[in-house]
Amino acid sequence: MADLAKPDVRPNNTHFSSGPCSKRPGWSLHALADAPLGRSHRAKVGKAKLKQAIDLTREILQVPADYRIGIVPASDTGAVEMAMWSLLGERGVDMLSWESFGAGWVTDVVKQLKLADVRKFNADYGLLPDLTQVDFDRDVVFTWNGTTSGVRVANADFIPADRKGLTICDATSAAFAQKLDFAKLDVTTFSWQKVLGGEGGHGMIILSPRAVERLTTYVPAWPLPKIFRMTSGGKLIEGIFVGETINTPSMLCVEDYIDALNWAKSIGGLEALIARADANAKVIFDFVEANDWIANLAVDPATRSNTSVCLKIVDADVAALDADQQAAFAKGVVALLEKENVALDIGAYRDAPSGLRIWAGATIETADMQAVMPWLAWAYQTQKAALTKAAA
């Protein structure tokens, strides 16, 4: 059997991983030449860099002036855990999950914090739970954009302005690519390595005045590790939110984040970032619409992510295979694309249904997304031909 003809055009950037994500267009190590390496982060130059990162975050994300922004350890996971361990327990909590990371927060609240008054609202991959059943007089924990399912909330309209509880939102694959309604969010977390393509290991936590009030008036029943403590003597540790980090940050990573923020500012800020992600996602959505062998994992178009686009292979012959064989087929498609060096790291997350996950965030050029689509078709057709031959 003759090999199928390969597409003529290859993407210039083949990095479509959903985290760490592609660096900004034109990035090089020279962009980090101003990093104060070998200097203390508590020195004047170090604190100035950290404050610059916080100030640019506020500007680009359009964070209200009375919200605190802090750089914290352990990426988005550290920021979410810091929020849950510091704030939960004052009242009942509703936990929302529709993918693996949201499910992880549920596990931590139930099995680690061992809160008694917990309601769980779970949905299968591709769907959202019934948001009308959530009680916002309780605290609520949810992900804005499910990185491993490609399902996001369309907006924050489901959150009432007069809520009594706090909302804790994991926004790590939404921040800088989707409009976050901070008036409805009391704690917002994300990491540098998603939409802006920064380096891993550092997280961001954004606190509303309501969250600050909870921090300074409520003491959890459990001990807090040092890296989670945001108060001392009943008062907020304000230094955290002006660049005095809880633990030692990498000044090289800080410089890289500043570079990404400056790039975002140079192209037009948040609106431009959202537009780039939307354009990239549209290329994938148009491809899916034109090909009946593939479908978006997110069922409702209104909830489809414009960053972590998750796809499933719905070809009838593949769907007739058992789960292990379906997974092997999808992995075969991914392997072909990696072998050709046209799309790297686009396999579905290990806990998610088998398929593809393509990062469409703002650091991806739309021309590269357009170039990789014919390669998806080629890889599928090649893998399907091998399946047919094996069955003959």
Q: Give pLDDT tens digits for 138-147.
A: 999 999 999 9
Are residues 102 and 247 part of one domain? yes
CB neighbourhood size of 381 (10 A): 14
Residues in the chain: 392
Token couple for 292:
């009946």
Are residues 258 and 380 part of one domain? no
CATH number of the domain that residue 344 is part of: 3.90.1150.10
| 227 in a structural domain | yes
| 184 in a structural domain | yes
- Which whole-number Å values give the CA distances from 63 to 143, 185, 274, 379, in the listed order? 18, 11, 16, 43
Domain extent, residue 52, equals 29-265
Q: What CA–CA distance (Å, rounded) separates 69 from 79?
A: 11
pTM for this predicted structure: 0.97
**pLDDT tens, 224-282?**
999 999 999 999 999 999 999 999 999 999 999 999 999 999 999 999 999 999 999 99
| 318 in a structural domain | yes
DSSP H helices, the chain, are: 44-61, 75-87, 100-107, 209-217, 251-267, 269-290, 316-319, 323-339, 366-391
∠ at Cα 100 (97, 101), nearest 5°? Answer: 75
The confidence score (pLDDT) of residue 2 equals 60
Contact indicator for 197, 215 with CB cutoff of 8 Å: no
∠ at Cα 333 (143, 3), nearest 5°? Answer: 160
Are residues 275 and 258 part of one domain? no
- Which whole-number Å values give the CA distances from 57 to 127, 242, 260, 265, 269, in the listed order? 31, 12, 10, 10, 10
The confidence score (pLDDT) of residue 1 equals 45
